[in-house]
């Protein structure tokens, strides 16, 4: 089954457009948990277990695991193995390198870590994205317009639109998507016009304060999976108490419901 088929199954069986981001940092993990590789893995697995009924996908961010050293990457590998295979995993790795190196990164994310999808950076152009697109059963979300202040430096005013246009052209296997920050809801409409129907991975609704209503309004393309709304910290660190996993589950359910209510009111 391809990434997008898996995703569609999840979106419809659970009635959810929520993607739960997994960004582990010791400083935020409840203090009663042991500061060990197993402690980290348990924290993530319990959080996954309590949120999985509301999550269309999970998105581990490679940066956080790499910062923990080799043992962090072992946690990542174990974690992905233990997430139920019907729930797709988006490896948020933001990779981007020339030809053969890109093949190596695709192999690492898709084969060594077993991710169903990946995030990649477009700066180096088509031949550096192609090795990812060639994994036709995997999803490839290309950075387009990000939710941080630095989006002003190069992405705006035009580059993100060029990226959307090119990714549409390059999407011959139908496995591409775009990463678009919710902090620019008014710009999402313009990207949507250019990209056509294509799933968006949308961060920035939670801690970064993007407007959910306008984001959903402008991102919708009339297709079955127009977008995934990602939230990481607001779910994973809903509380620092011993009931962290239950609270993560409640936060995930609440956001799923808020997305659905907002969708039905548009």
| Residue 156: CA count within 13 A, CB half-sphere | 16
159 is a contact residue toward its own copies (CB under 8 A): yes
Binding its own copies by CB under 8 A: which of 127, 134, 213, 242? 127
Binding part of the chain for its own copies, among 38-46, 103-111, 185-193, 239-247 by CB under 8 A, reads 103-111
Closest distance of CB 115 from its own copies, Å: 12
Binding mask 60-89 for its own copies (x = CB under 8 A): -x-xx-xxxxx--xx--x------------
Residue 241: which of 21, 28, 44, 60 has the closest Cα?
A: 28
- Indicate if 59 belongs to the active site: no
Q: Which residue out of 94, 165, 166, 253 is catalytically annotated?
A: 94
Question: Could you tell me the sign of the dihedral formed by the alpha carbons of 42, 46, 47, 53, in that order?
Answer: positive
Candidate segments 51-59, 83-91, 152-160, 245-253, binder of its own copies by CB under 8 A: 152-160
CA-nearest of 227, 146, 228 to 183 is 146
Among candidate residues 222, 146, 226, 145, the one with its CA nearest the CA of residue 191? 145
Which residue from 2, 50, 128, 195 is in contact with its own copies, where contact means CB under 8 A? 128
101 part of the interface to its own copies, by CB under 8 A: yes
Tokens 């490839």 correspond to what residue? 140
Contact with its own copies (CB under 8 A) among 56, 117, 118, 151: 151
- Least distance (Å) from its own copies to the CB of residue 108? 4
Residues in the chain: 266
Could you give the angle at the alpha carbon of 203 between the alpha carbons of 156 and 196, nearest 5°?
A: 65
> With binding defined as CB under 8 A, does residue 53 bind its own copies?
no
Cis peptide before 157 (omega within 30 of 0): yes
Query: What is the number of other CB atoms lying within 10 angstroms of the CB of residue 47?
Result: 26
Least distance from C-beta 131 to its own copies, angstroms? 10
- Using rule CB under 8 A, residue 230 touches its own copies: no
Please, are residues 245 and 47 in contact by the beta-carbon 8 Å criterion? yes
- Give the DSSP per-residue string, 65-103: HHTT-HHHHHHHHHHHHHS-TTS-BEEEEEE---HHHHH
Tell me: does residue 27 bind its own copies (CB under 8 A). no
Give 142 or 248: the residue with its C-beta nearer to its own copies: 142
Rule CB under 8 A: say whether 121 interacts with its own copies: yes
Instruction: Please select the residue that binds its own copies; options are 8, 9, 14, 23, rule is CB under 8 A.
Output: 23
Longest Cα pair distance anywhere in the chain, in angstroms? 50
- Tell me: does residue 168 bind its own copies (CB under 8 A): no
Please give the DSSP secondary-structure letter assigned to residue 164: H
Q: Which residues carry out catalysis?
A: 94
Q: Which residues bind its own copies (CB under 8 A)?
A: 23, 25, 61, 63-64, 66-70, 73-74, 77, 94-105, 107-108, 112, 121-129, 143, 146-155, 159, 162-163, 166
């Amino acid at each position: 089954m391809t990434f997008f088929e898996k995703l569609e199954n999840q979106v419809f069986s659970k009635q959810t457009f929520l993607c739960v981001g997994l960004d582990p940092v010791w400083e935020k993990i409840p203090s009663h948990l042991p500061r060990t590789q197993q402690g980290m893995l348990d924290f993530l697995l319990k959080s996954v277990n309590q949120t999985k009924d509301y999550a269309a996908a999970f998105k581990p961010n490679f940066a956080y695991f790499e910062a923990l050293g080799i043992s962090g990457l072992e946690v990542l590998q174990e974690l992905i193995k233990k997430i139920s295979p019907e729930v797709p995993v988006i490896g948020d790795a933001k990779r981007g390198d020339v030809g053969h190196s890109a093949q190596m990164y695709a192999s690492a994310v898709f084969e060594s870590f077993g991710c169903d999808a990946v995030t990649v950076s477009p700066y180096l152009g088509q031949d550096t994205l192609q090795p990812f697109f060639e994994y036709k059963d995997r999803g490839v979300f290309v950075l387009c317009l990000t939710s941080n202040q630095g989006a002003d430096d190069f992405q705006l005013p035009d580059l993100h639109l060029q990226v959307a246009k090119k990714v549409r052209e390059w999407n011959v296997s139908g496995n591409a998507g775009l990463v678009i920050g919710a902090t620019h809801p008014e710009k999402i409409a313009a990207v949507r016009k250019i990209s056509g129907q294509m799933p968006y991975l949308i961060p920035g609704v939670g801690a970064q304060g993007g407007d959910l209503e306008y984001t959903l309004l402008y991102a919708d393309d009339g297709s079955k999976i127009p977008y995934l709304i990602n939230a990481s910290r607001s779910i994973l660190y809903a509380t620092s108490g011993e009931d962290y996993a239950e609270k993560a589950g409640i936060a995930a359910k609440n956001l799923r419901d808020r997305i659905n209510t907002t969708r039905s009111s548009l």
